[in-house]
Amino acid sequence: MSNRDVVFTNVTVVQLLRQSCPDGSFLFLYRVVSHFLPFLLSLLPTVTRPPPPPPAPHVQPVKTLPEQPPPPPSKMTSTAPELLVGINGFGRIGRLVLRACIEKGVRVVAVNDPFIDPEYMVYMFKYDSTHGRYKGSVEHRNGQLVVDNHEINVYQCKDPKEIPWKSVGCPYVVESTGVYLSLEAASAHILAGAQRVVISAPSPDAPMLVMGVNEKEYNPSSMNIVSNASCTTNCLAPLAKVIHERFGIIEGLMTTVHSYTATQKTVDGPSKKDWRGGRGAHQNIIPASTGAASAVGKVIPELKGKLTGMAFRVPTADVSVVDLTCRLAQAAPYSAIKEAVKAAAKGPMAGILSYTEDQVVSTDFIGDPHSSIFDARAGIALNDNFVKLVSWYDNEYGYSNRVVDLLRYMFSRDK
């Protein structure tokens, strides 16, 4: 029965009950029906409304996280080739080359020195009277030198041919003993398994490369042994290159005022080849010979035979200074020379040549990584064609940085 039928039936019953009976029995019937009406209505089918649907559950809005960039590739899984270096000779330059390698991210895998054991290496590397204490961790562990938790194999071979460069995986070697300077002598490292050797001193016959000057002459197919020249040549050559290319150098004389080195005597002692060189280094200014100026002709062929020079060894532990006095082919005021050097220091020779107008002295350059720092206030000019130019250099630390830079350059060309 539909809702409409139920409503119609209820209305009909009420209407019938309200009709008056002719015999006056309406009241009786009304009472009877009123009494039984709830029962009668209960017999009708009940229509119920469907229950309302349950309320929808409350759903928290989903927060969208910002898109994260992909993680960088792991260095441990990188397949890029790595420059691996060995050092033969753990003296002043050898130890500072190791420091420079660490600072430049170059991995040193082995050090050879027949006179220094691993425990003593820790002490010598950690403490330095000139350049200060090494700021990282240094220890010896299982016969190895461990620097910043990086293990370096240590050998004490007297003959370079016996150093296991090949087995330790060391293709690039720094020869810093000051002994194996010729191609023949340095080739012992090649026989031991090295592929490239950089001699940290002038060589009588190895190709000479100076960063910022002629490093592009490196030929991977024919140069497996090269010389990084001397610290003084590394100071003079960049300056001479800038001046010669801009103004032309007719001729020149160089003097280097050079700090004493380990080859000198602390007190007077025998020195058959150089009598003056045997005098006490802390007590004297000692005139000495140097091939640094003439070596510039090897890296800048246009200046061959146009430069020569000498040295004064002085009682300072580190930092030296070059005085280049030269005649210019093109007349130029000193201000123009300063501008030319300044532009080169900011441009093509950045990191090699630096420029300063500060009132500086030698100790201000301890730890300076540049090859040559031009002192604009120290130079003078007699006229526009005859000038004296002054440039400083840390003969230990600056030079060691160039050794590492040359290794990196050769590695980039060898790939």
Is 413 part of a structural domain of the chain? no
Q: What does the alpha-carbon distance between residue 236 and residue 281 come to, in Å, rounded to a whole number?
A: 24
Of the residues 101, 231, 235, 326, which is catalytic? 231
Pairing of the two strands 84-88 and 172-175:
parallel
The owner of tokens 């209407």 is 15
Q: What does the alpha-carbon distance between residue 240 and residue 147 come to, in Å, rounded to a whole number?
A: 39
Give yes or no: residues 277 and 161 share one domain: no
**Cβ pair 143, 121 in contact under 8 A:** no
Is 407 part of a structural domain of the chain? no
Q: Per residue of the chain (415 residues), what is the pLDDT tens digit?
A: 444 444 444 444 444 444 444 444 444 445 555 555 555 555 555 544 555 555 555 545 544 444 555 444 433 334 568 999 999 999 999 999 999 999 999 999 999 999 999 999 999 999 999 999 999 999 999 999 999 999 999 999 999 999 999 999 999 999 999 999 999 999 999 999 999 999 999 999 999 999 999 999 999 999 999 999 999 999 999 999 999 999 999 999 999 999 999 999 999 999 999 999 999 999 999 999 999 999 999 999 999 999 999 999 999 999 999 999 999 999 999 999 999 999 999 999 999 999 999 999 999 999 999 999 999 999 999 999 999 999 999 999 999 999 999 999 999 999 8
Q: How many domains does the chain have?
A: 3
The phi, psi pair for 258, rounded to 5°, reads -115, 135
Q: What does the alpha-carbon distance between residue 2 and residue 12 come to, in Å, rounded to a whole number?
A: 16
Range of the domain at 17: 3-43
CATH of the domain at 286: 3.30.360.10
Question: Which helix (H) or strand (E) element contains residue 18?
Answer: helix 3-18
Q: What does the alpha-carbon distance between residue 237 and residue 353 come to, in Å, rounded to a whole number?
A: 10
| 253 DSSP β-pair partners | 308, 325
Of the residues 190, 206, 222, which one is the last residue of a structural domain? 206
Q: What does the alpha-carbon distance between residue 388 and residue 376 come to, in Å, rounded to a whole number?
A: 11
Q: DSSP string spanning 207-231? A: -B--TTTTGGG--TTT-SEEE---H
- In order of 127, 315, 326, 364, 369, the CA distances from 378 in angstroms are 34, 21, 15, 15, 21
Taking the CA atoms of residue 246, residue 249, residue 255 and residue 258 in that order, the dihedral angle to the nearest 10 degrees is 40
Instruction: Name the DSSP letter for residue 280.
Output: B
Tell me the CB-side half-sphere exposure of residue 72, using CA atoms within 13 A. 4
Concerning whether 101 is annotated as a catalytic residue, the answer is no
Is 312 part of a structural domain of the chain? yes
Is 117 part of a structural domain of the chain? yes
The owner of tokens 């007699």 is 382
Helix ranges (DSSP H) in 25-174: 26-43, 92-103, 118-126, 165-168
Is 217 part of a structural domain of the chain? no
The phi, psi pair for 178, rounded to 5°, reads 80, 10
**Cβ pair 220, 254 in contact under 8 A:** no
Is 347 part of a structural domain of the chain? yes
CA 372 to chain centre: 20
Give yes or no: residues 253 and 354 share one domain: yes
Q: What does the alpha-carbon distance between residue 131 and residue 318 come to, in Å, rounded to a whole number?
A: 9
Give yes or no: residues 270 and 359 share one domain: yes
**Cβ pair 250, 329 in contact under 8 A:** yes
Two tokens at 20?
A: 């008056």
Question: Which helix (H) or strand (E) element contains residue 191?
Answer: helix 183-191
CATH of the domain at 151: 3.40.50.720
